[in-house]
Amino acid sequence: MIPHLNGFFLASLDSLDRQINLFLPLIGIVIIFLCLLSFFFPMAKPLRDRTQKFTGLGVSMEISVLTVFVLMGFILSLSSFFLQWKGYLDQKETHDKLIATKEGEITELKRTVEAMRDQIEPSMVSSMVLGLELQHDPAKGKISPKPGDLTCEYQVGDSQPKQANVSAGSGAGDVYKVTIEDITRDAYIRYIKLSRREMTHRQWAVENLIPSERRYRLLEVTTK
């Protein structure tokens, strides 16, 4: 009930302000118009000739009553402009405060979202496809094994080593593709190792890499 009455009261005040802004200049214009008409009617001569004496602050002066009415007419006419301008400034100040408040809320919401994202993203588990290019040991000779002839073992951080399927990659040279599972944004790969199934002494590996790129070179390693 109280919010309803409050809204009704504010609406009444707004209606009253509009009426004041409408009638004050009309009254001022009517007063000025009547003062001008007084010059065309002889019966208004006493009003034109009558003066009003004002004293105060050591100053004494006489002003025509007609002049006083003209000044009152101008004041009433201009008062509407003053009230509207003041109302505009008040509304602008209110809107500026509201905009500043909303901008502050939006900025705070963005910070909250970014903080939540920074907390969630490092723990998000995903998979990543990497291209691996074999660099052969010249002493052992170059071979180009088929993807099915290779096995892949990798270790993400301190987790247990895992196996990955090897498929053909794109590009010049001996390039293959493997899918690294269960990797987070901030994790690193301790090693990736490719081995020839029937020739286990032929192995290629890369160690300690952060998967910021999609293709890596694996150097051939010496095995017993």
What confidence tens digit (pLDDT) does each residue in 60-80 have? 666 677 777 778 888 777 777
What confidence tens digit (pLDDT) does each residue in 8-49 have?
444 565 666 666 666 777 777 787 777 777 777 666 666 666
Mean pLDDT across the chain? 77
pLDDT of amino acid 182? 77
Alpha-carbon distances of 188 from 63, 156, 185, rounded to whole Å: 94, 6, 9
pLDDT of amino acid 145? 84
- pLDDT at position 167 over 80: yes
- In this structure, are residues 180 and 156 in contact, taking their beta carbons and an 8 Å threshold? yes
Q: What is the mean pLDDT of residues 100-125?
A: 80
| Topology given in CATH for the domain delimited by 125-221 | Immunoglobulin-like (2.60.40)
Domain ranges in the chain with CATH number 2.60.40: 125-221
Task: Provide the percentage of residues in the chain whose pLDDT is more than 90.
Answer: 4
